Structure 1
Amino acid sequence: MTNDDLIYQIEMVRNTMITVGMSKGLTSSETILLSKKLDRLLNLQFHRQKVRSA
């Protein structure tokens, strides 16, 4: 996955999570799963940037 792909994925999951959170609630299982997926993507991006700057 390229960096552009990763950024696109992050934005898509973030937007979906916001939409689901607004319609189903912030504590719905779907919102929580999307939040965890977003966390994994953000951690991947962080680690990639950390490796590039080292």
Structure 2
Amino acid sequence: MQLTNLWNEIENCRYEMISLAMKTSLSDIKVIEISKKLDELLNEYDDSK
């Protein structure tokens, strides 16, 4: 995946996580799942630099 595409996916995931957390809570299972996905994306981005 190109870095630009990966970065866009990271930003989308971050936005989704924040939006959902504002509607529910930080401990909501879906927020935690998105957070884990975001961690994976950030690690992938870091590894590809």
Number of residues paired by the alignment?
49
* Structure 2: gaps of 5 or more residues: none
| Corresponding residue of 2:35 | 35
Could you say which structure has the higher helix fraction?
A: 1
Q: Which has the larger radius of gyration?
A: 1
Structure 1 residue 12 displacement after superposition: 0.0
* Structure 1: gaps of 5 or more residues: 50-54
TM-score, length-scaled by structure 1: 0.88
TM-score, length-scaled by structure 2: 0.96
| Corresponding residue of 2:10 | 10
Task: Percent identity, please.
Answer: 37
